A and B are shown apart, each in its own frame.
Chain A
Amino acid sequence: MFTVELADQTDFDGWRHSARALALAGIEPAQVRWTVKGAQSDDLFDAAASALPEPRDNADLTVPRPFIERLQTIMHHSDDDRFAFMYRLLLRVSQEADLLKVLSDLDVQRLERMEKAIRRDAHKMHAFVRFRKVAVGGKDRFVAWFEPDHYIAEREADFFVKRFAGMNWTIMTPWRTIDWDGERLTIAPGARKEDAPSADAAEDLWRTYFSSIFNPARLKVKAMQAEMPKKYWRNLPEAPLIPALIASAGRRAENMVESAPTSAAPHHSRIQQRYWEGRQTMTEITDASSLDDLRKMADGCTRCPLYRDATQTVFGEGPENAEIIFVGEQPGDQEDLAGAPFVGPAGKVFDDTLAQVGIDRQRVYVTNAVKHFKFVPRGKRRLHQKPNGGEVQACRWWLDREIALIKPKLVVALGATALTALYGKTLPVTKNRRQVLRNDADLKIFVTVHPSFLLRIPDAETAARERRLFAEDLAALRDLMAA
């Protein structure tokens, strides 16, 4: 039997040194007794620490570094059996490299449970430490008393140093006291509750907040206690309020439900008069004589159901005296957010191509056949949906008015939806590409593809060719306009 004595409860270096020697000598876990200097022991006969054994020939011990760090964590657990458990696990891991990945193994599960206990204890310490302010030598000092379940005070000092770097503070626990003077961290032996200050004036404010933020109509005592177990209550200044808050909750909630509605507060009519009267009754514009009016009208458009899910109407943009109107299909994700047409990826292709062939975007009018974005949600994205005939038809009302007000020499149909909207019936784009068609109203329609089509081509070579074709289309358009 070997007896190892560790310097204190979290003497990991001592444990590591001894465990290594014992493992290299091939000592079985059952042959080792682990003790801590000065700790109470249940053993009937206290054996003195033994000399560590000599290693066997060619003995070797390697385990992954992260495993050592995990052992270091559970060293802080309050389980007295942890030293023996750690030694057993060390031997098993040294023999079976993948053991730690087998989460259903009993020992691995125990390791995980112990780590979780440490994490939870640390988390509760971060949450439930309550400082009380005292003046020491004319300087503010913040002092807390806290009782963690495990030997974690020293380990968690770093959290408090980083958070309260600009304060002087002390956290006392039964095991250790940690102290920060604004520059240096000091670790001292444990303390008693009486050593910490017993009150702080700010606690009245905190208790006021605690009871006011509580909603008596939603009593969920179990949920509270699951996260804030009673064992922590004795050191929480707000906890003494809890029983009375619970006891009165039912009556308070009933009172709210039963009390009859009162008449409006005296200031209410004044506020209504001053801020809201006249604002709601915006005169219904029935037709518009300028693009600006038309745009304002379209803002509240409900001619088809698409307005329900979209952010806003995306109306056309450009000068009222433009000679060309470009008509796309509908706004996309970016256009919907920005409230302007052709600002997304397809808009970029469109702009670049216009610049390339020498058409000034500032002098053309750009709009869409459908003015709201149609999509289906897919997680964090919105998938574009092709507008149906009814939607295109409903929105033609706007497009017709845009055309009537601007009176362009020619409109450009970008893609099939725009062509349908402008021509009045469905025509294939590819067959009519680079042609000028006339609709029933004798409007000249130049046909090309939609720039977003260019973005959807997966194969780079085809994509480059199609981009060239699109640029040639726009160059043809430019020449047509110049003629």
Chain B
Amino acid sequence: MAKLTTVEKLAILSDAAKYDASCASSGSTRRNSLNSGGIGSVTGAGICHSYAPDGRCISLLKILLTNFCIYDCAYCINRSSSNVRRARFTVQEVVNLTLDFYKRNYIEGLFLSSGIIRSPDETMARLVEVARQLRLTHRFAGYIHLKTIPDCDPLLLEEAGRFADRLSINVELPTDDSLGRLAPEKQPANIRRAMGNLRLKIEEKSEPTLRTKRKERFAPGGQSTQMIIGADPANDDTILKSSARLYSSYRLKRVYYSAFSPIPDAKAALPLSEPPLMREHRLYQADWLMRFYGFEQQEIVAGRPGGMLDLAIDPKLAWALDHRDRFPVDVNRGDRETLLRVPGLGTKAVAKILQVRRYRTLRLEDLRRVCQSLDKIRPFIIALDWHPLGLIDRPELKERLTPKPAQLSLF
């Protein structure tokens, strides 16, 4: 095989990494390079330095160290039976690319993953070595996200946590059964154990040590995971149930949902079609309802045919239309929990309403200024100069509130 140039390797190994949805650079501890004289800072909020035409933010240099892999997971472009071109970066190449991109302000940092070569330990050791060189040799203070290989030596995990902002282990599919079918070499039990270990480590290191009274650094951005949507028959109820379990069991910062997308040289066993992007979107909305809006997992999908979310309207509106007896809500009296259930009122709008109403009794005109769309909330609320009367019980309400399908932009 002819020796590949760095550009050729970059093309192969970023193409190989693009099916991982996570690109967040947020949630870590703030720091900068003023004292070290190196480069890099983390602001807390994360910065998207570019956007690809798939609408996804490009925040990190997201690449694989190698796409050689001894696993044969049906949904993955890098599975061992795939005829995709293979490449392998040296540690030095990844370090240089990261620094070259960072110095030109293309990226917030590095998201490094890898196919499994030979053994979990050997693979993990190389990932850690990249992070170690960036941090220690180059005084790099930007964001680092390392994929964690389940089954790797706990000492490697310890080192990874010291250098990385975030660690992640992908559960890949919503159920163990699906994983058994599509990724026969993966062991769901080991994935869970690894996530459990990570949570224990993160919590242990967040306590100040007895000797120095300072917290040791360990993955301050926490851990996250990804689930592929639509490659197996699991319905939305099953998926959200898995998420609720993962959030509560392992204190994940995020569960990423990735609509299964056609890949080059795919296996015959998989549903090759357009990725279910709207379904993915609805799952993210439902995920938000669980995490920020006080919804229990069960009530989001309760009573929906086939355990699937409504694709035409967002899950909060769907819930409200199914529970019309809970509305209208008086925006001048309702408590935070009740207001958060009003379709069209986000967490920020609710916070604003609660603040303003200490000084003014809210009218529709006031609401127009604190929330996105008055049309959406109008049927569900009472304000000083507004009562929806029978609007809430009208059978055609759903149709009225369903967004019209937009024409695909042709650019």
Q: How far is the CA of A408 from the CA of B201 in the complex (A)?
A: 36
Residues 47 to 76 of chain B near chain A (Cβ within 8 Å): 47-58, 61-62, 70, 72
Residues 105 to 140 of chain B near chain A (Cβ within 8 Å): 105-106, 139
Q: Which 10 pairs from chain A and chain B are nearest by CB?
A: A223-B55, A220-B55, A104-B366, A377-B248, A162-B32, A264-B81, A337-B196, A214-B52, A165-B33, A256-B262
The answer on a CB contact under 8 Å between A219 and B53 is yes
Pull 22 A–B residue pairs with CB atoms less than 8 Å apart, ordered by A: A103-B370, A126-B43, A142-B103, A162-B34, A165-B37, A208-B7, A208-B14, A212-B15, A214-B18, A214-B54, A215-B18, A215-B19, A218-B275, A218-B277, A221-B411, A223-B55, A227-B51, A268-B81, A309-B249, A336-B196, A339-B196, A377-B244
Q: How far is the CA of A252 from the CA of B270 in the complex (A)?
A: 18
B212 located at the interface, meaning its Cβ lies under 8 Å from any Cβ of chain A in the complex: no
Take A208-B10, A311-B196 as given contacts and tell me if A221 and B38 are in contact as well, using a CB distance cutoff of 8 Å. Answer: no
CB distance from A440 to the nearest CB of B (A): 35
The answer on a CB contact under 8 Å between B50 and A210 is yes
A456 located at the interface, meaning its Cβ lies under 8 Å from any Cβ of chain B in the complex: no
B342 located at the interface, meaning its Cβ lies under 8 Å from any Cβ of chain A in the complex: no
CB distance from B135 to the nearest CB of A (A): 14
Residues 158 to 185 of chain A near chain B (Cβ within 8 Å): 159, 161-167, 182
Q: Which of A144, A212, A221, A227 has the most CB of B within 10 A?
A: A212
The answer on a CB contact under 8 Å between A275 and B70 is yes
B255 located at the interface, meaning its Cβ lies under 8 Å from any Cβ of chain A in the complex: no
Q: How far is the CA of A224 from the CA of B367 in the complex (A)?
A: 29
A-B pairs with CB below 8 Å: how many?
A: 252
B263 located at the interface, meaning its Cβ lies under 8 Å from any Cβ of chain A in the complex: yes
The answer on a CB contact under 8 Å between A104 and B370 is yes
Q: How far is the CA of A245 from the CA of B55 in the complex (A)?
A: 12
4 more CB-based (< 8 A) A-B contacts, given A123-B47, A382-B249: A103-B356, A127-B49, A166-B38, A167-B39
Residues 248 to 267 of chain A near chain B (Cβ within 8 Å): 249, 253, 256-257, 259, 261-262, 264-265, 267
Size bracket, chain B contacts: 35 or more
Q: Give the chain B neighbours of A375 by CB distance below 8 A.
A: 248
Q: Which of A106, A219, A257 has the most CB of B within 10 A?
A: A219
CB distance from B271 to the nearest CB of A (A): 10
Query: Which of B185-193, B308-316, B319-327, B374-382 is the interface stretch?
Result: B185-193
Q: Which of B196, B247, B362, B367 has the most CB of A within 10 A?
A: B196
A82 located at the interface, meaning its Cβ lies under 8 Å from any Cβ of chain B in the complex: no
The answer on a CB contact under 8 Å between B33 and A162 is yes
Q: How far is the CA of A207 from the CA of B265 in the complex (A)?
A: 24
A295 located at the interface, meaning its Cβ lies under 8 Å from any Cβ of chain B in the complex: no
The answer on a CB contact under 8 Å between B58 and A299 is no
How many chain A residues touch B (CB < 8 A): the figure is: 91
The answer on a CB contact under 8 Å between B101 and A109 is no
Residues 445 to 460 of chain A near chain B (Cβ within 8 Å): none
Q: Give the chain B neighbours of A161 by CB distance below 8 A.
A: 34
Q: How far is the CA of A337 from the CA of B290 in the complex (A)?
A: 23
The answer on a CB contact under 8 Å between B10 and A144 is no
Take A103-B370, A202-B101 as given contacts and tell me if A222 and B55 are in contact as well, using a CB distance cutoff of 8 Å. Answer: yes
A312 located at the interface, meaning its Cβ lies under 8 Å from any Cβ of chain B in the complex: yes
A150 located at the interface, meaning its Cβ lies under 8 Å from any Cβ of chain B in the complex: no
Take A130-B106, A256-B263 as given contacts and tell me if A380 and B248 are in contact as well, using a CB distance cutoff of 8 Å. Answer: yes
In this complex, what residue of A is CB-closest to B142?
A163
Q: How far is the CA of A379 from the CA of B249 in the complex (A)?
A: 10
B334 located at the interface, meaning its Cβ lies under 8 Å from any Cβ of chain A in the complex: no
Q: Which of A213, A238, A275, A337 has the most CB of B within 10 A?
A: A213
CB distance from A172 to the nearest CB of B (A): 14
The answer on a CB contact under 8 Å between B37 and A339 is no
CB distance from B248 to the nearest CB of A (A): 4
The answer on a CB contact under 8 Å between B14 and A212 is yes
CB distance from A380 to the nearest CB of B (A): 6
A200 located at the interface, meaning its Cβ lies under 8 Å from any Cβ of chain B in the complex: yes
Q: Give the chain B neighbours of A259 by CB distance below 8 A.
A: 264-265
Residues 256 to 300 of chain B near chain A (Cβ within 8 Å): 259, 261-268, 272-275, 277, 290-291, 297
Q: A197-231 interface mask toward B, CB cutoff 8 Å, 1 = contact, 0 = none?
A: 00010101110111011111111111110011000
Q: Which of A123, A162, A167, A209 has the most CB of B within 10 A?
A: A209
B197 located at the interface, meaning its Cβ lies under 8 Å from any Cβ of chain A in the complex: yes
Q: In the complex, which of the residues B48, B245, B267, B297 contacts A309, with contact meaning CB atoms closer than 8 Å?
A: B245
Q: How far is the CA of A311 from the CA of B268 in the complex (A)?
A: 32
The answer on a CB contact under 8 Å between B275 and A217 is yes
B352 located at the interface, meaning its Cβ lies under 8 Å from any Cβ of chain A in the complex: yes
CB distance from A141 to the nearest CB of B (A): 11
Q: Give the chain A neighbours of B262 by CB distance below 8 A.
A: 217, 253, 256-257
Q: Give the chain B neighbours of A38 by CB distance below 8 A.
A: none
Residues 220 to 278 of chain B near chain A (Cβ within 8 Å): 244-245, 247-249, 251, 259, 261-268, 272-275, 277
The answer on a CB contact under 8 Å between A261 and B355 is no
Q: How far is the CA of A214 from the CA of B199 in the complex (A)?
A: 32
The answer on a CB contact under 8 Å between A222 and B273 is no
The answer on a CB contact under 8 Å between B261 and A218 is yes
CB distance from A55 to the nearest CB of B (A): 31
A236 located at the interface, meaning its Cβ lies under 8 Å from any Cβ of chain B in the complex: yes
Q: In the complex, which of the residues A101, A127, A208, A264 contacts B359, with contact meaning CB atoms closer than 8 Å?
A: A101
Take A161-B34, A166-B139, A256-B272 as given contacts and tell me if A377 and B10 are in contact as well, using a CB distance cutoff of 8 Å. Answer: no
The answer on a CB contact under 8 Å between B266 and A256 is yes
Q: In the complex, which of the residues A127, A300, A381 contacts B248, with contact meaning CB atoms closer than 8 Å?
A: A381
The answer on a CB contact under 8 Å between B53 and A276 is no
Q: How far is the CA of A167 from the CA of B33 in the complex (A)?
A: 10
Q: In the complex, which of the residues A163, A210, A236, A337 contacts B197, with contact meaning CB atoms closer than 8 Å?
A: A337
In this complex, what residue of B is CB-closest to A160?
B105
The answer on a CB contact under 8 Å between A202 and B356 is no
In this complex, what residue of A is CB-closest to B16?
A212
